[in-house]
């Protein structure tokens, strides 16, 4: 932040490329109030089985329905919550909402898994484990249907306590997922030490990997590694027909991305499913 301030001071405004006009940083008080007043809402993005098109589950992605600024994306407030000890409250709210929605889907016979993003700052005390277990027990959702996504680049430094918390949750049958795989500095060590069930190949190694030898080598290597370690593999950032063709031809298990669907409100999910099933019937997943 000091660096950003320096750059702002010395670099002419026309060169402030990294400061998009519409992005705003919110104060701790504002983020706290958003959590207390339940202004955070859950969106859901489908994760589909590549071979069949079936919906395996959803990832929940939080948004802030702000009274003045409209729909605010997580990059504008998660870091604030992390920095001011609000992240456990935020994660609990998001998880509570997601579990209530999972119940609705499960009661309708749609046995989706629900994935929730967990911050490294959630994994600093064993209390977090109890919070998660209590919420899931209260909601009556089987832990096997709850996926905890942890971003790989956050898994750095001293990971003894996070490792302990994740391992305990794994023993309680929660599913663990390593998110944005390939973007961190310690990928292999984390895979060695933590019993992940799922590996999500970062979108930067998926989208257009069919067109670029370097990306393709990284995509292939991540896929092979996950298979060798008996993990399910999710391709993130499947954005067009060619990306979809790549994940199909390489036998990736699951896919997620704008080609399938962006994040949706729960109310729009069943309409999207109808539309997706129609796209499948119309030949989207027939062999090339
Ligand atoms: P993530 O967990 O890696 O989520 C994927 C992000 O990529 C989402 O952005 C999603 O909307 C976007 N995305 C999905 N499909 C595509 C695609 O085909 N192409 C491209 N370019 N992007 C795609 P979003 O919702 O803005 O979330 C950004 C990040 O914020 C997430 O990355 C996650 O790390 C974090 N986040 C989101 N919700 C939560 C939350 O409830 N708690 C915590 N701690 N972090 C969250
Ligand atoms: Mg994620
Ligand atoms: Mg990701
Ligand atoms: Mg990410």
Dihedral sign from CA coordinates of 281, 266, 108, 148: positive
- Convert the pLDDT of each residue in 233-282 to its tens digit: 999 999 999 999 999 999 999 999 999 999 999 999 999 999 999 999 98
Is the pTM above the cut of 0.90? yes
Tell whether ipTM is more than 0.90: yes
Q: Name all residues whose Cβ lies below 6 A of ligand 1.
A: 45, 61-62, 73-75, 78, 91, 94, 117, 119, 149, 151, 179-180, 203, 237-239, 257-258, 263
- Convert the pLDDT of each residue in 30-39 to its tens digit: 999 999 999 9
Both tokens of 81, joined, read: 């919550």
């Amino acid at each position: 932040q000091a660096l950003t301030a320096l750059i702002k001071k010395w670099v002419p405004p026309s060169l402030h490329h990294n400061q998009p006009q519409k992005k705003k940083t919110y104060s701790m008080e504002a983020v706290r109030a958003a959590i207390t007043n339940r202004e955070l809402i859950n969106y859901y993005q489908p994760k589909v089985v590549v071979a069949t098109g079936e919906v395996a589950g959803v990832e929940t992605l939080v948004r802030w329905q702000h009274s003045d600024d409209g729909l605010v994306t997580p990059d504008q407030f998660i870091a604030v919550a992390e920095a001011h000890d609000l992240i456990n409250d935020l994660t609990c709210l998001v998880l509570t909402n997601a579990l209530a929605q999972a119940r609705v889907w499960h009661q309708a016979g749609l046995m989706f898994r629900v994935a929730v993003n967990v911050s490294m700052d959630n994994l600093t005390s064993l209390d977090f484990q109890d919070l998660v277990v209590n919420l899931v027990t209260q909601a009556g959702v089987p832990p096997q249907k709850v996926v905890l996504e942890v971003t790989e680049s956050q898994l750095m430094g001293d990971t003894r306590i996070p490792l302990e918390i994740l391992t305990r949750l794994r023993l309680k049958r929660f599913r663990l997922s390593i998110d944005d795989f390939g973007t961190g500095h310690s990928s292999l060590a984390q895979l060695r030490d933590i019993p992940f069930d799922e590996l999500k190949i970062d979108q930067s190694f998926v989208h257009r990997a069919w067109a670029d030898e370097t990306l393709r080598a990284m995509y292939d290597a991540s896929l092979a590694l996950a298979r060798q370690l008996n993990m399910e593999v999710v391709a993130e950032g499947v954005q067009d027909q060619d990306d979809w063709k790549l994940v199909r031809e390489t036998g990736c298990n699951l896919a997620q991305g704008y080609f399938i669907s962006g994040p949706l409100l729960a109310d729009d999910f069943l309409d999207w499913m109808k539309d997706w099933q129609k796209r499948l019937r119309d030949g989207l997943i027939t062999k090339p």
